[in-house]
Structure formats: C-alpha cells, structure tokens
C-alpha cells in the first residue's frame, strides 16, 4: 500500500478500495500507526485497534461480496459525546471516567451499518462546553497547523484528527458553532445540518433544543457522503425531523437550473449580512473571506447585501438558553446511577454535592450555575423567557433574509485560532468568538465551514455558509463548486501530515 494513503479523503478511499489498490485492513493499520505516532496532539481519548481491524476485515469481505456503500471500509472516529457500546464514553469529563454504554448512539449505529470502521473516540470540551477544546478533563487538543494554538471547540479532537490526516472524517456536534468553528480553525470542512436532521439519541445532551450532530471531513463531497448515512428520522428521538432519507451526495452534484459547467453557481444569490463584517473583524480574516466571495462571483453567484440586526443579541440569548438547558440535563450526573461517585460522604445530599464538585470541571460548573440562576424563581421571566422571545426574533430575521437570497455567507469566527491558554482567564472572550455561528444555531438552520484561505501565522480561515431549513443540498452544492475551483481544502499542515 502507498505510504501516503492517509492523504486520501472519503470519496477517494471508496474509489481506491473499489479498484483494489489496498484493503480496508491495510488502511486501518496504517492510520492506527499514525494515531499512535501523533499522540501529542491529544486528539484521541480511546482507541481499540483490535476491534477496528476486525471491522475492517468485515468491510473487506462485504466489498468482496459486492455489498458495499461508499463508506464501507472507510476509517472514521467519533466525538466522545456519542455513546458507544465497545468503547468508553466520557464526554471529556471525569464525571464519566470509565463509563461504557450498553448501546450505540443512532449516529454511530448508522455509520457502522454503512460499513464505516471506527478507530476510536475523539477528545472534546467537557460535555461539549467550550470554543477551544481546553476544557477537556483529559488535556487540551493541539492545532496541527500550530501546536501552540487551539483547534477550536468543542469538536476540536475531530477537527484536529482530520486536519492531521489521522483519519479522513469524523463525527462532531454543534450546539453554538462546535463543528463550524473547529473546522475553520483547522482548515477542514464541517457541516451542522438543520436541527432534527440527525438523531440525538445516544448523544450526551448539553442543550437539547440546540445540539445537532454532523460530520467533519476534507471536502464537501466527503461531508455529503457521511451526512447521507448518519441522518434520517429516528422514532427514539422526539425532536427528529420526519423526512424521507436524503441523498446529499446526489443533491450536491445536481446542476442548478440554467447553470453551465463554467458557471455552476449561476443564479445563486448569496446574502452578506452587514453585521457579519464589523469593524472589529480581524483584517486577515476579512481579506480571506472577501477573496473567497469573489471566487463565488466568478462561479456565477450574485452577492446581495442583507441584514441580521439582532446578531449581537445572539450571544446573551445563547448564554442564557444553553446553560439553562444544561443545568437541567446535567442534573442526572449525581453519583447514583452511573459515572463518578465521591468516595466519602455523610448522607445523600452530601454525596450529591461532593460527587458533582469532584466530577465537573470549572466551565461546566460555571454554566450550570448560570443556568440554575436564570431558571430560578423571580428570574425566569426576566432572563429565560425574554431570551426565548429574542430567539424567535432572530429566526424571523433569517426568514426575511431568505426572501432576498438563497445562502448567507460570512466569516466563521472573528479571528484565526488563538494561542493555548489565552482565553482561560477570560471566558467571556471565548464566548464572543461564537458571534457569527450562534445565530444559525438559535434559528435551527444548517451551516457549514469551508476552508477559504489563510490568515496571520499561516493559520486557516473558514468561510461560513448558512442555508434555509433543510437546504443542506444547496450548501453542499455551493461548497463543492468552490472546492472544485480552489485548493484550500487540500492544503496540509507541514510536518504533521508527512
């Protein structure tokens, strides 16, 4: 097998396996060796080489029988927020140290049914709370482009592993930007589908009305292949959208009406909210995003000025609603049924207190306290109820925008990835980094990050594309056309990917 097989994406691996250039077992062993050689990135929390190789051999047999999907034999890994029967699930927290689930999350099960080979579990901010992947109880993840910088969060382990060519794709979750922001910081492609497209069954809850699963991979084509397999209605999830299965890969390739090969995006209207281009936007990010938008124009798209006037309000709205839901969801971690339990305690109440004090990290405690406060008597109407009203108004702003355009575009984050430790003393600074991703999450809209250039220090810059509800195909089509005309998504971090 070629020594650079790790440079192949999902679609490329599918074609190589079909041609017999190498087996899934050979590729899996090659990637397992790379994972062990790059432990310093902190991307993986658990690896089961024996199970991965066994699954790879099964995939090879399945291909030999002619019973294969595009994902059969393709190695991936899962963010450690999805429960898995054969691997530990910690959610990046000491609270769940050593926990093993008796079942697989729906997303995990569906990808396994498609033949994907699971290498292991990926590091993440504790209970998916963070924008830097520094909140994990098992140490930070490092950005492959510069190990002194953060990879973004909370799906930082997923983004770093894909960027470092440890695997071609990974699962992630996005509550307020946790797929899009790390994808931007690490120079990979990531998509958060419409809320309800992917089942939340078996996904450890942070904020139930916001959490959504999605893939991170090299390209829009790779994301489309994964999303087709992992999405769909699930009767075990009451928030799952009742829609027929979608072939996002076919939607991505479908030509737009009247478009020619030279102008594949002819007729596409891209809205540019003025609020996404404030004076405080870093100059290097603005330059890369503007250059990417110029490329979209060359591909036939039309740029339209629009407005999302309540963009700034998305930060206080999100940081009221999300902690409120977290305080409720995380109340189940009390030492009674599963997870950590304090070794010494006087009575039941003392056990609760000590267990939660020992098991939760500082950021999780901070958000639980905020959430409990805004839900408490005398503050519910003033904070939580008002935040929900504003959430509806933010969704209305998007509705008005989509009357003028098909896709909304802008930066993913105000800056490139910052240095490790820079945001640890000022959590509000990290919260502000989510300003461009939070609005779409609050409105339940699909959004994706597409590699669009490089900024200060040679760090990647992502372009954010936001679509209307269930318009994943439109986003993937636009991103694919852009990636056919550019090579940003093929660039690799020096050294790590060799």
Query: What tens digit of pLDDT does each residue of 270-329 get?
Result: 999 999 999 999 999 999 999 999 999 999 999 999 999 999 999 999 999 999 999 999
Question: Does some domain include residue 363?
Answer: no
- Which CATH number does the domain housing residue 153 bear? 3.90.1300.10
C-alpha gyration radius of the chain: 21
Query: What's the token pair of residue 48?
Result: 């089961």
To the question of pTM greater than 0.95 for the whole model, the response is yes
Average pLDDT in the 46-65 region? 98
Q: What is the DSSP pairing of strand 169-174 with strand 75-79?
A: parallel
Average pLDDT over residues 258-274: 93
Q: Residue 426 has what pLDDT?
A: 73
Two structure tokens written together for 457? 């220090």
Please determine, for residue 182, whether its predicted confidence score (pLDDT) is greater than 80.
Answer: yes
491 falls within a domain: no
Asked, for residue 39, whether it belongs to a domain, the answer is yes
pLDDT of residue 417: 97
pLDDT value at residue 2: 74
497 pLDDT exceeds 60? no
Q: Which run of H or of E encompasses 386? A: helix 386-401
* DSSP conformation class of 90: -
Q: Is residue 26 part of a domain?
A: yes
What percentage of the chain carries pLDDT values higher than 70? 99
Say if 77 falls within a structural domain. Answer: yes
In a domain, 435, yes or no: no
> What's the longest Cα–Cα distance across the chain?
74
pLDDT digits (tens, 9 = 90+) for 350-392: 999 999 999 999 999 999 999 999 999 889 999 999 999 999 9
CA distance 469 to 450: 19
> Rounded distance, CA 449 to CA 188, Å?
8
Whether the link from the prior residue into 154 is cis, omega within 30° of 0, is: yes
Question: What pairing do the DSSP bridges indicate for beta strands 407-411 and 269-273?
Answer: parallel
Helix (H, G, I), strand (E, B) or coil at 471: coil
Structure confidence at residue 131 (pLDDT): 93
Catalytic residues: 79, 154, 178
Which residue in this structure is represented by tokens 């305690």? 345
Q: pLDDT grade, residue 10 (50/70/90)?
A: very high
- Most confident of the following: 371-385, 421-435, 442-456: 442-456
**Distant-in-sequence, close-in-space partners of 235: CB < 8 Å, separation ≥ 6:** none
Closest CA to 421 of 149, 155, 126: 149
Picking from 141, 258, 128, 194, the residue whose alpha carbon sits closest to that of residue 443 is: 194
pLDDT, one tens digit per residue, over 139-155 is 999 999 999 999 999 99
- Pairing verdict, β 269-273 and 302-306: parallel
Q: What percent of the chain has pLDDT above 90?
A: 94
Render pLDDT for 223-260 as a digit per residue (tens, 0 to 9).
Answer: 999 999 999 999 999 999 999 999 999 999 998 887 88
Phi, psi of 347 (to 5 degrees): -150, -175
Binned at pLDDT 50, 70 and 90, residue 261 comes out as confident
For residue 41, what is the DSSP state? G
pLDDT, tens digit (0-9, with 9 covering 90-100), for 33-43: 999 999 999 99
pLDDT of residue 300: 97
Is 105 within 8 Å of 86 (Cβ atoms)? no
Which pLDDT band, with edges at 50, 70 and 90, does 105 fall under?
very high
Query: Is there a domain that residue 439 lies in?
Result: no
- Mean pLDDT (the chain) is 96
Nearest to 113 by CA among 55, 157, 26, 180: 55
Q: Whole domain around residue 26: which residue ranges?
A: 5-263
Does residue 430 form part of some domain? no
> In total, how many domains does the chain have?
1
């Amino acid at each position: 097998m070629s020594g650079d097989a790790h440079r192949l994406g999902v679609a490329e691996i599918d074609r190589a396996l079909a041609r017999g250039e190498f087996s899934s077992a050979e590729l899996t062993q090659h990637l397992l060796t790379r994972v062990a050689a790059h432990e310093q990135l902190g991307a993986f929390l658990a690896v089961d080489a024996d199970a991965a190789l066994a699954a790879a051999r099964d995939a090879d047999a399945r291909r030999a029988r002619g019973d294969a999907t595009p994902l059969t034999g393709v190695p991936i890994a899962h963010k450690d927020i999805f429960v898995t029967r054969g691997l530990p699930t910690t959610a990046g927290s000491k609270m769940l140290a050593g926990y093993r689930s008796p079942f697989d999350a729906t997303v995990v099960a569906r990808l396994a049914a498609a033949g994907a080979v699971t290498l292991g579990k990926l590091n993440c901010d504790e209970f998916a709370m963070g924008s830097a992947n520094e909140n994990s109880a098992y140490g930070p993840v490092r950005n492959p482009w510069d190990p002194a910088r953060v990879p973004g969060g909370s799906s930082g382990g997923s983004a770093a592993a894909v960027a470092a060519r440890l695997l071609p794709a990974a699962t992630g979750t996005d509550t307020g930007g946790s797929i899009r922001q790390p994808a931007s910081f690490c120079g990979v492609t990531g998509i958060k589908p419409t809320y309800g497209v992917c089942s939340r069954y078996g996904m450890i809850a942070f904020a139930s009305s916001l959490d959504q699963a999605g893939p991170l991979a090299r390209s829009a084509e790779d994301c489309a292949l994964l999303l087709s397999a992992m999405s769909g209605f699930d009767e075990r999830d009451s928030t799952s959208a009742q829609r027929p299965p979608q072939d996002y890969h076919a939607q991505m390739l479908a030509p737009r009406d009247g478009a020619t090969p030279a102008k594949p995006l002819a007729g596409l209207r891209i809205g540019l909210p003025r609020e996404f281009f404030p004076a405080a936007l870093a100059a290097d990010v603005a330059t890369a995003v503007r250059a990417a938008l110029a490329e979209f124009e060359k591909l036939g798209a039309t740029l339209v000025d629009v407005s999302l006037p309540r963009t700034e309000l998305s930060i206080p709205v999100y940081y009221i609603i999300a902690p409120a839901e977290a305080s409720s969801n995380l109340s189940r971690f009390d030492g009674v049924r599963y997870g950590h339990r304090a070794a010494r305690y006087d009575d039941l109440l003392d056990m609760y207190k000590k267990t939660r004090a020992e098991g939760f990290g500082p950021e999780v405690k901070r958000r639980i306290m905020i959430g409990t406060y805004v839900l408490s008597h005398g503050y519910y109407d003033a904070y939580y109820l008002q935040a929900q009203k504003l959430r509806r108004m933010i969704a209305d702003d998007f509705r008005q925008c989509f009357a003028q355009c098909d896709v909304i575009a802008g930066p993913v984050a105000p800056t490139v990835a910052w240095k490790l430790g820079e945001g640890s003393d000022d959590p509000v600074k990290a919260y502000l980094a989510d300003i461009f991703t939070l609005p779409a999450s609050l409105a339940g809209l699909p959004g994706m990050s597409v590699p669009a250039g490089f900024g200060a220090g040679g760090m990647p810059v992502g372009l954010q594309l936001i679509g209307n509800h269930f318009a994943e195909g439109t986003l993937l089509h636009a991103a694919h056309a852009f990636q056919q005309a550019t090579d940003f998504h093929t660039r690799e971090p020096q050294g790590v990917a060799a």
